[in-house]
Amino acid sequence: MERIALPDRRSLALDGRTWAEVSLTTLRENFRVVQQHVGPKVAICAVVKADGYGHGATECALALEAEGTPWLGVTDAAEGRALRSAGIWTRILLMTGIWKGEEDGIVSHNLTPTIWETWHIERLEKAAKKQQINLPVHLKVDTGMNRLGASVEALPQLCDKLALCHHLHLEGVSTHFASAEVLDAEDAPRQMKIFEEALAVLGQHGLYPPLVHIGNSAAVSARPETWKTMVRPGILLYGYSLPVMRGGSAVSEPSLPLVPVLTWKTRVLTVKDVAAGEAVGYMGTYITKERSRIAVLPVGYADGYPRLLSNRARVIVRGEYAPVVGRVSMDLTMVDVGHIPGIAVGDEVILIGSNNGKSVDAVELARLGETVPYEILCGISQRVPRVYA
C-alpha cells in the first residue's frame, strides 16, 4: 500500500486518484479519550492489527507509541516483525498465538505471544533458553467463544507445564467477549463467571499475572466491570464506538467523544447527460426517471467500495449528498448529480467523511452493505494511497 506524506497531497489530488486521508493527530486524541475513560490505572493495548484496521499499521503504531501506549496488539508474528522493522519498540502482543517454527523469531524480536496449547509452552521455552532470555507470555482462556484459548479444565495441565519452565513467565491472562455491547446478553456474564473461575485456578497454582485483560472496544464502552488491569481497544481508537444494545435495540448512542480518523475521497472522472428511461451500469439495475446528470467516479469494489452499496449508498460532492446509482463495478461507481449545479471533472467527492454539515461514515456504509464497520475500514484496498497528517 502506498504511503504518502502530507506535503505530497497536492500532487496526489492533481492526478485524479482515489485516496484516504488519515489524521494521526485525531488518532492520538482518541487514544487520550479512551485512556481518560478507563482511568490511569488501566493499561491500554492499542490494537493495530489488519494494517491498523486499514489505516496503516506502521504509521498508526508510531503515533500511538509517541502518545505513550504501553502495548500494541497485532494478529501474529508477521505483523509484529513488520512493526519492529519500522523501528517500533513498544511492547507488542501477538493476539492469535503462534505457528510452529516462529518461536525463535518471536524471542529475537521481543514479541509477546499469547499461548493456550502445551506445545506453545514447549517450543517457546526451548527458543527462550537458546537465546538466554526470560520470555513473558499471556495465557488465553476460552470462556465461551469456542474460538481460541484453553478451557478452564485444561488450565491445571498448562500451569504444571509453565511451572517446569525456567525461561517463560506468565505476565498476562485474557479472554474475549462474544457480545459485550449487548447489555442483556446472557453470554457476557457467563463468560465473566468462567473467567473468574480461571483466575482462581491460576491462583491455586501460585500464578497471579499482573496483566488481566478482557475488554475489547465494546467492553471499554459498555462494561467498566471488565476493565481489570488492561483493555484492548481497536475500532474505538479509529473513531467508532458501536451503540449499546438491549433487547435487540440500541439503548444509547456512543458516548465517548471520538472522531473518525480516516476520510476516503475520490474525484469526478467524467460527467454524462443521460435521457429519461435509460439504464445505468451493469445489468441495468437503475433506470433514470428523468433527464439526469451522472458523475462517474474512479472507485469500485477493487478499491474496497462494496458492490452491495449499489443503488443504496450516497456520497458528498460540493457539500451535497449524491446517491449511488447502478451497480458498483470493479473500478467505477456512478452517482446522480443532477440536483447539484456546476459539477465538473476533478471535483472532490467524499466517500467517507464530512462536509458542509453532511456526513457519511463507516457505520452507515456497513448498514447499507449488510456488514460491520470493521470490514468497511479493513476492506479499503492496498491500491488506495493513504495520506498522513
| CB-based contact 72:65 (threshold 8 Å) | yes
Annotation marks residue 49 as catalytic = yes
Distances (CA, A) of 215 to 66, 230, 305: 23, 8, 30
- Copy the grid coordinates of residue 350: 467524499
Annotation marks residue 286 as catalytic = no
Residue of 208, 282, 286, 358 with catalytic role: 282
CA angle 373, 145, 107 (to 5 degrees): 85
Question: Which residue carries 506453545 as its cell?
Answer: 120
Q: Phi, psi at residue 297, to the nearest 5°?
A: -110, 140
Q: Phi, psi at residue 246, to the nearest 5°?
A: -150, 130
Which amino acid, 285? Answer: T
Q: What is the three-class DSSP state of 224?
A: helix
- Exposure string (b/e) for 304-323, b if CB count within 10 Å is 16 or more? bbbeebbbebbbbbbebbbe
Residue of 41, 49, 100, 289 with catalytic role: 49
| CB-based contact 365:306 (threshold 8 Å) | yes
Sort strands 230-231 and 43-47 into parallel, antiparallel or unpaired: parallel
Contacts of 222 (CB under 8 A, 6+ apart): 180, 181, 183, 244
Question: Which residue carries 484516504 as its cell?
Answer: 20
- Where in the sequence numbering do the catalytic residues fall? 49, 282
